[in-house]
Amino acid sequence: MNRSSSFFSVHPGSRANQKANATRGVADFLRTNGKMAALLPAVERLAELQRDCCALIPALFDACSVTHFEAAKLVLATPNAAIAAKLKQQLPKLQDGLLKRGWQVDAIRLKVQTRNVVDNIKPPKQLVLPAQALSALAALKDTLEDEPRNAALKSALEAMLKRHHRST
């Protein structure tokens, strides 16, 4: 499988077509921002790896996320120790499946990350986004499916959009 394809690309007739306009707007904004554009390839790679993990063990991976992948070492975040224990039993299956999909994974490490700790972190300064970016982020929020794995992203997008409307 080709690992250079963009996670923002869509295939005709696919379910991803529904989200194409929103994600395209976000991707365009990221590509035009110099600092963000440098991060885009890494984000695309992690998003593709996240999708492959979800496809291999969907029941467990809905609440988990890929946090780091470097030098054939994969780090996965789990929301609690119970899910980490269940996921640990599935790691050989996950590693084998990822190898078959073209990912060179020699080791997988799990990290329990409770979400409430991350949610309480406040950004040091307010980012001012152009209207085009706000519109693209609002469209993305509206097109995301109501699934547990999208809940944190939808919440973050909603909070960001509310903060911006209060500050303008």
Confidence check: pLDDT of 83 > 70: yes
Q: Which DSSP letter does residue 48 get?
A: H
**Higher model confidence: residue 45 or residue 62?**
45
In angstroms, the CA 30 to CA 23 distance is 10
Taking the CB of residue 108, how many other CB atoms lie within 10 A of it?
19
**Higher model confidence: residue 13 or residue 166?**
166
Per-residue pLDDT band for 5 (boundaries 50, 70, 90) equals very low
CB burial of 14-39 (b: ≥16 within 10 Å; e: otherwise) equals: eeeeebeebbbbbbebbeeeeeeeee
Which position has the token pair 């440098």?
38
In angstroms, the CA 4 to CA 123 distance is 32
In angstroms, the CA 29 to CA 152 distance is 21
- Tell me the β-bridge partners of 68: 75
In angstroms, the CA 118 to CA 45 distance is 23
Per-residue pLDDT band for 3 (boundaries 50, 70, 90) equals very low
Question: pLDDT digit string (tens) for 101-159?
Answer: 999 999 999 999 876 555 555 555 666 778 888 888 888 888 888 888 888 888 888 88
In degrees, rounded to 5, the angle at the alpha carbon of residue 129 between the alpha carbons of residues 126 and 133 is 145
Taking the CB of residue 103, how many other CB atoms lie within 10 A of it?
19
AA identity, residue 29: F
* pLDDT over 90 percentage in the chain: 32
